[in-house]
Structure 1
Protein backbone atom coordinates (compact mmCIF):
# COMPACT_ATOMS: atom_id res chain seq x y z
CA UNK A 1 0.00 0.00 0.00
CA UNK A 2 1.27 3.45 -0.85
CA UNK A 3 0.35 7.02 -0.08
CA UNK A 4 1.28 9.50 -2.82
CA UNK A 5 3.82 7.02 -4.13
CA UNK A 6 5.47 6.36 -0.75
CA UNK A 7 5.12 3.00 0.97
CA UNK A 8 2.73 3.34 3.92
CA UNK A 9 5.39 1.73 6.11
CA UNK A 10 7.75 4.67 5.56
CA UNK A 11 5.10 6.99 6.99
CA UNK A 12 3.71 4.83 9.80
CA UNK A 13 7.08 4.03 11.36
CA UNK A 14 7.45 7.63 12.46
CA UNK A 15 4.50 7.25 14.83
CA UNK A 16 6.14 4.20 16.42
CA UNK A 17 9.48 5.99 16.69
CA UNK A 18 7.87 8.89 18.56
CA UNK A 19 5.15 7.16 20.59
CA UNK A 20 7.22 4.17 21.77
CA UNK A 21 9.82 6.23 23.65
CA UNK A 22 7.17 8.67 24.92
CA UNK A 23 5.20 5.75 26.35
CA UNK A 24 8.41 4.42 27.91
CA UNK A 25 9.14 7.76 29.60
CA UNK A 26 5.55 7.99 30.87
CA UNK A 27 5.85 4.47 32.28
CA UNK A 28 9.11 5.30 34.05
CA UNK A 29 7.58 8.41 35.63
CA UNK A 30 4.48 6.46 36.69
CA UNK A 31 6.64 3.76 38.26
CA UNK A 32 9.24 5.93 39.97
CA UNK A 33 7.31 9.01 41.14
CA UNK A 34 4.35 7.89 43.28
CA UNK A 35 3.26 11.44 44.15
CA UNK A 36 2.71 12.18 40.42
CA UNK A 37 0.69 9.03 39.72
CA UNK A 38 -2.59 10.94 39.86
CA UNK A 39 -1.32 13.04 36.94
CA UNK A 40 0.47 10.33 34.97
CA UNK A 41 -2.06 7.47 34.99
CA UNK A 42 -4.14 8.61 32.01
CA UNK A 43 -1.25 9.87 29.88
CA UNK A 44 0.53 6.56 30.47
CA UNK A 45 -2.57 4.61 29.46
CA UNK A 46 -3.06 6.74 26.35
CA UNK A 47 0.57 6.59 25.28
CA UNK A 48 0.76 2.85 25.92
CA UNK A 49 -2.29 2.28 23.72
CA UNK A 50 -0.92 4.60 21.03
CA UNK A 51 2.47 2.87 21.13
CA UNK A 52 0.87 -0.56 20.74
CA UNK A 53 -1.31 0.61 17.85
CA UNK A 54 1.55 2.39 16.08
CA UNK A 55 3.97 -0.54 16.41
CA UNK A 56 1.33 -2.99 15.18
CA UNK A 57 0.56 -0.65 12.26
CA UNK A 58 4.27 -0.33 11.45
CA UNK A 59 4.75 -4.09 11.63
CA UNK A 60 1.70 -4.80 9.49
CA UNK A 61 2.56 -2.19 6.89
CA UNK A 62 6.15 -3.46 6.81
CA UNK A 63 4.95 -7.02 6.20
CA UNK A 64 2.67 -5.74 3.45
CA UNK A 65 5.56 -3.80 1.89
CA UNK A 66 7.75 -6.91 2.00
CA UNK A 67 5.00 -9.02 0.39
CA UNK A 68 4.67 -6.45 -2.40
CA UNK A 69 8.46 -6.41 -2.94
CA UNK A 70 9.72 -10.00 -2.45
CA UNK A 71 13.23 -9.12 -3.63
CA UNK A 72 13.72 -7.13 -0.42
CA UNK A 73 13.54 -10.34 1.62
CA UNK A 74 16.91 -11.38 0.17
CA UNK A 75 18.73 -8.43 1.75
CA UNK A 76 20.45 -9.22 5.08
CA UNK A 77 19.73 -5.73 6.41
CA UNK A 78 16.00 -6.21 5.80
CA UNK A 79 16.12 -9.60 7.55
CA UNK A 80 17.78 -7.97 10.58
CA UNK A 81 15.15 -5.23 10.57
CA UNK A 82 12.36 -7.79 10.38
CA UNK A 83 13.80 -9.98 13.17
CA UNK A 84 14.12 -7.01 15.50
CA UNK A 85 10.61 -5.84 14.62
CA UNK A 86 9.20 -9.20 15.75
CA UNK A 87 10.88 -8.73 19.14
CA UNK A 88 9.61 -5.13 19.39
CA UNK A 89 6.08 -6.31 18.65
CA UNK A 90 6.23 -8.74 21.59
CA UNK A 91 7.86 -6.18 23.89
CA UNK A 92 5.33 -3.43 23.13
CA UNK A 93 2.44 -5.87 23.64
CA UNK A 94 3.83 -6.88 27.04
CA UNK A 95 4.45 -3.22 27.90
CA UNK A 96 0.84 -2.39 27.04
CA UNK A 97 -0.49 -5.05 29.41
CA UNK A 98 1.87 -4.16 32.27
CA UNK A 99 1.36 -0.40 31.82
CA UNK A 100 -2.41 -0.82 32.05
CA UNK A 101 -2.05 -2.96 35.17
CA UNK A 102 0.36 -0.47 36.75
CA UNK A 103 -1.81 2.54 35.94
CA UNK A 104 -4.86 0.87 37.45
CA UNK A 105 -3.29 -0.88 40.44
CA UNK A 106 -0.30 1.12 41.70
CA UNK A 107 -1.04 3.18 44.81
CA UNK A 108 -0.83 6.93 44.81
CA UNK A 109 -2.29 10.16 46.15
CA UNK A 110 -5.02 12.19 44.53
CA UNK A 111 -5.04 15.80 43.38
CA UNK A 112 -8.29 16.38 45.25
CA UNK A 113 -8.11 18.24 48.56
CA UNK A 114 -10.67 15.82 50.00
CA UNK A 115 -8.36 12.88 49.35
CA UNK A 116 -11.04 11.06 47.37
CA UNK A 117 -9.65 9.01 44.54
CA UNK A 118 -6.42 8.09 46.29
CA UNK A 119 -5.33 4.52 45.66
CA UNK A 120 -4.17 2.28 48.48
CA UNK A 121 -1.48 -0.32 48.02
CA UNK A 122 -2.70 -3.77 47.04
CA UNK A 123 0.39 -5.33 48.54
CA UNK A 124 4.08 -4.56 48.54
CA UNK A 125 4.94 -7.55 46.37
CA UNK A 126 2.43 -6.63 43.65
CA UNK A 127 3.51 -2.98 43.74
CA UNK A 128 7.18 -3.91 43.37
CA UNK A 129 6.47 -6.40 40.59
CA UNK A 130 4.49 -3.80 38.65
CA UNK A 131 7.17 -1.15 39.11
CA UNK A 132 9.92 -3.58 38.06
CA UNK A 133 7.88 -4.76 35.08
CA UNK A 134 7.12 -1.26 33.85
CA UNK A 135 10.74 -0.17 34.26
CA UNK A 136 12.19 -3.24 32.51
CA UNK A 137 9.72 -3.14 29.63
CA UNK A 138 10.09 0.64 29.24
CA UNK A 139 13.84 0.30 28.81
CA UNK A 140 13.48 -2.71 26.53
CA UNK A 141 10.88 -0.96 24.39
CA UNK A 142 12.98 2.19 24.00
CA UNK A 143 16.07 0.13 23.12
CA UNK A 144 14.21 -1.96 20.55
CA UNK A 145 12.59 1.06 18.94
CA UNK A 146 16.11 2.39 18.34
CA UNK A 147 17.44 -0.99 17.17
CA UNK A 148 14.56 -1.59 14.76
CA UNK A 149 14.73 1.95 13.44
CA UNK A 150 18.49 1.76 12.98
CA UNK A 151 18.23 -1.55 11.12
CA UNK A 152 15.48 -0.13 8.90
CA UNK A 153 17.47 3.01 8.14
CA UNK A 154 20.54 0.92 7.29
CA UNK A 155 18.40 -1.28 5.02
CA UNK A 156 17.16 1.77 3.12
CA UNK A 157 20.16 4.09 3.20
CA UNK A 158 23.02 1.60 3.58
Structure 2
Protein backbone atom coordinates (compact mmCIF):
# COMPACT_ATOMS: atom_id res chain seq x y z
CA UNK A 1 0.00 0.00 0.00
CA UNK A 2 1.33 3.35 -1.02
CA UNK A 3 0.29 6.97 -1.15
CA UNK A 4 1.92 9.00 -3.89
CA UNK A 5 4.74 6.47 -4.11
CA UNK A 6 5.45 6.41 -0.36
CA UNK A 7 4.81 3.25 1.65
CA UNK A 8 1.76 3.74 3.85
CA UNK A 9 3.35 2.22 6.97
CA UNK A 10 5.75 5.08 7.80
CA UNK A 11 2.86 7.51 7.42
CA UNK A 12 0.31 5.57 9.50
CA UNK A 13 2.83 4.84 12.23
CA UNK A 14 2.78 8.49 13.28
CA UNK A 15 -0.90 8.22 14.23
CA UNK A 16 -0.14 5.13 16.32
CA UNK A 17 2.76 6.84 18.08
CA UNK A 18 0.62 9.88 18.92
CA UNK A 19 -2.78 8.37 19.72
CA UNK A 20 -1.56 5.25 21.56
CA UNK A 21 0.14 7.19 24.37
CA UNK A 22 -2.58 9.88 24.41
CA UNK A 23 -5.25 7.22 24.92
CA UNK A 24 -3.21 5.52 27.63
CA UNK A 25 -2.64 8.81 29.45
CA UNK A 26 -6.34 9.68 29.16
CA UNK A 27 -7.16 6.27 30.65
CA UNK A 28 -4.81 6.88 33.56
CA UNK A 29 -6.34 10.35 34.07
CA UNK A 30 -9.79 8.72 34.07
CA UNK A 31 -8.73 6.73 37.12
CA UNK A 32 -8.32 9.94 39.15
CA UNK A 33 -11.69 10.20 40.93
CA UNK A 34 -12.08 13.97 40.55
CA UNK A 35 -11.35 13.77 36.79
CA UNK A 36 -13.40 10.66 36.01
CA UNK A 37 -16.50 12.32 34.56
CA UNK A 38 -14.60 14.98 32.60
CA UNK A 39 -12.23 12.46 31.02
CA UNK A 40 -14.68 9.60 30.35
CA UNK A 41 -15.67 10.46 26.75
CA UNK A 42 -12.26 11.74 25.62
CA UNK A 43 -10.76 8.50 27.00
CA UNK A 44 -13.30 6.36 25.14
CA UNK A 45 -12.80 8.31 21.90
CA UNK A 46 -9.01 8.24 22.12
CA UNK A 47 -9.04 4.51 22.91
CA UNK A 48 -11.04 3.83 19.74
CA UNK A 49 -8.81 6.06 17.59
CA UNK A 50 -5.62 4.60 19.11
CA UNK A 51 -6.80 1.04 18.59
CA UNK A 52 -7.67 1.76 14.96
CA UNK A 53 -4.34 3.56 14.40
CA UNK A 54 -2.30 0.72 15.87
CA UNK A 55 -4.23 -1.92 13.93
CA UNK A 56 -3.67 0.13 10.77
CA UNK A 57 0.05 0.46 11.56
CA UNK A 58 0.29 -3.30 12.08
CA UNK A 59 -1.54 -4.14 8.85
CA UNK A 60 0.43 -1.64 6.77
CA UNK A 61 3.67 -2.88 8.31
CA UNK A 62 2.76 -6.44 7.39
CA UNK A 63 1.99 -5.30 3.84
CA UNK A 64 5.26 -3.36 3.70
CA UNK A 65 7.22 -6.51 4.61
CA UNK A 66 5.33 -8.52 1.98
CA UNK A 67 6.51 -6.03 -0.64
CA UNK A 68 10.09 -5.95 0.74
CA UNK A 69 10.86 -9.58 1.69
CA UNK A 70 14.60 -8.83 1.88
CA UNK A 71 13.94 -6.88 5.10
CA UNK A 72 12.70 -9.99 6.92
CA UNK A 73 16.26 -11.25 7.34
CA UNK A 74 17.21 -8.27 9.50
CA UNK A 75 17.25 -9.05 13.25
CA UNK A 76 16.21 -5.45 13.97
CA UNK A 77 13.18 -5.72 11.69
CA UNK A 78 12.34 -9.09 13.23
CA UNK A 79 12.42 -7.55 16.73
CA UNK A 80 10.20 -4.69 15.56
CA UNK A 81 7.78 -7.14 13.97
CA UNK A 82 7.61 -9.27 17.14
CA UNK A 83 6.96 -6.23 19.34
CA UNK A 84 4.34 -4.95 16.88
CA UNK A 85 2.46 -8.24 17.13
CA UNK A 86 2.47 -7.98 20.91
CA UNK A 87 1.40 -4.31 20.77
CA UNK A 88 -1.49 -5.21 18.49
CA UNK A 89 -3.02 -7.59 21.04
CA UNK A 90 -2.22 -5.35 24.02
CA UNK A 91 -3.94 -2.44 22.27
CA UNK A 92 -7.00 -4.47 21.29
CA UNK A 93 -7.34 -5.57 24.93
CA UNK A 94 -6.86 -1.97 26.08
CA UNK A 95 -9.52 -0.75 23.64
CA UNK A 96 -12.04 -3.32 24.84
CA UNK A 97 -11.28 -2.58 28.49
CA UNK A 98 -11.50 1.20 27.93
CA UNK A 99 -14.87 0.84 26.21
CA UNK A 100 -16.17 -1.45 28.94
CA UNK A 101 -14.91 0.92 31.62
CA UNK A 102 -16.40 3.97 29.94
CA UNK A 103 -19.80 2.42 29.36
CA UNK A 104 -20.27 -0.14 32.15
CA UNK A 105 -18.29 0.81 35.22
CA UNK A 106 -20.33 2.95 37.55
CA UNK A 107 -19.63 1.46 40.97
CA UNK A 108 -19.03 -1.73 42.85
CA UNK A 109 -16.79 -4.69 42.17
CA UNK A 110 -17.02 -4.41 38.37
CA UNK A 111 -15.69 -0.85 38.54
CA UNK A 112 -12.73 -1.90 40.68
CA UNK A 113 -11.86 -4.81 38.39
CA UNK A 114 -12.18 -2.69 35.25
CA UNK A 115 -10.15 0.15 36.78
CA UNK A 116 -7.30 -2.23 37.61
CA UNK A 117 -7.40 -3.78 34.15
CA UNK A 118 -7.54 -0.30 32.59
CA UNK A 119 -4.50 0.87 34.56
CA UNK A 120 -2.46 -2.23 33.69
CA UNK A 121 -3.40 -2.17 30.01
CA UNK A 122 -2.74 1.59 29.73
CA UNK A 123 0.76 1.18 31.17
CA UNK A 124 1.39 -1.76 28.82
CA UNK A 125 0.29 0.33 25.83
CA UNK A 126 2.66 3.13 26.84
CA UNK A 127 5.59 0.78 27.29
CA UNK A 128 4.95 -1.25 24.13
CA UNK A 129 4.42 1.79 21.90
CA UNK A 130 7.81 3.09 23.00
CA UNK A 131 9.50 -0.31 22.64
CA UNK A 132 7.95 -1.00 19.25
CA UNK A 133 8.63 2.49 17.93
CA UNK A 134 12.22 2.38 19.15
CA UNK A 135 12.77 -1.01 17.51
CA UNK A 136 11.31 0.34 14.26
CA UNK A 137 13.52 3.42 14.39
CA UNK A 138 16.56 1.28 15.15
CA UNK A 139 15.77 -0.94 12.16
CA UNK A 140 15.61 2.08 9.86
CA UNK A 141 18.39 4.27 11.23
CA UNK A 142 21.00 1.74 12.40
Alpha-carbon distance between aligned partners in 2 of 1:130 and 1:29, rounded to the nearest angstrom: 14
Cα deviations across residues 111-156 of structure 1 (Å, max 9, x unaligned)?
xxxxxxxxxx2x2x22211111011000000000000000000100
Identify unmatched segments of 5+ residues in structure 1: 108-120
Number of the residue aligned with 1:154 = 138
Cα deviations across residues 82-133 of structure 1 (Å, max 9, x unaligned)?
00000000000000010011111233xxxxxxxxxxxxx2x2x222111110
Shift of 1:36: 2.0
Cα deviations across residues 41-66 of structure 1 (Å, max 9, x unaligned)?
11011100001100010000000000
TM-score (norm. length: structure 2): 0.96
Number of the residue aligned with 2:25 = 25
Secondary structure of 2:139's aligned partner? helix
Number of the residue aligned with 1:74 = 73
Secondary structure of 1:92's aligned partner? helix
Whether the aligned pair in 2 keeps the contact of 1:30 and 1:103 (CA below 8 Å) is no
Shift of 1:40: 1.0
Alpha-carbon distance between aligned partners in 1 of 2:85 and 2:73, rounded to the nearest angstrom: 18
Number of the residue aligned with 2:4 = 4
Identify unmatched segments of 5+ residues in structure 2: none
Number of the residue aligned with 1:129 = 113
Number of the residue aligned with 2:98 = 99
Q: Which runs of 4+ in 1 moved over 3 A?
A: none
Rg bigger for which structure? 1
Q: Which structure is higher in helix share?
A: 2
User: Aligned pair 1:144/2:125, yes or no?
Assistant: no
Secondary structure of 1:40's aligned partner? helix
The size of the alignment, in residue pairs, is: 142
Shift of 1:5: 2.6
